[in-house]
Amino acid sequence: MFVHLVTPPEWRRITGEAPPPSPVDSPAYTNAGLPWFDYYDQDAEDLAPTDPLEGVKPVGDWLGDDHEPWQPPGSHQVEQLGDAPGKPVQDGDW
């Protein structure tokens, strides 16, 4: 699985669609015809990280609590990706 974090403007540029509302909720899943699994327990405790994952930090730790409006990156920061030559990326041996 590959996860890409994108901003709402990037979502629109990549998909040509309006970004989904945040956070995505059960009505959004229902409207899209997707299942919604009711196991999200906001009162549950976090599990302790396993050894291989204990160094992984939550995205919020990277970004912090930024209450300023989002600013798009400058054109010098954006690297356009072209068609990837070769075979598609696949899972490796973990």
- Proportion of the chain above pLDDT 90, given as a percent: 4
How far apart are the C-alpha atoms of 89 and 4, rounded to whole Å?
14
Does residue 78 surpass a pLDDT of 70? no
Give the global pTM: 0.28
Residue 41 has pLDDT above 60, yes or no: no
Output 41 or 72, whichever has higher pLDDT: 72
Distance CA 59, CA 7 (A): 13
- Residue 44 tokens read as 């549950």
Please provide the size of the chain in residues.
94
Whether residue 81 has pLDDT greater than 60: yes
Average pLDDT in the 54-82 region?
Answer: 70
Would you state the pLDDT for residue 16? Answer: 92
On whether the CB atoms of residues 59 and 48 are closer than 8 A, the answer is no
How would you class 14 by CB atoms within 10 Å of its CB: exposed for 0-12, middle for 13-18, buried for 19 or more?
exposed
Q: Which has the higher per-residue pLDDT, 8 or 48? A: 8
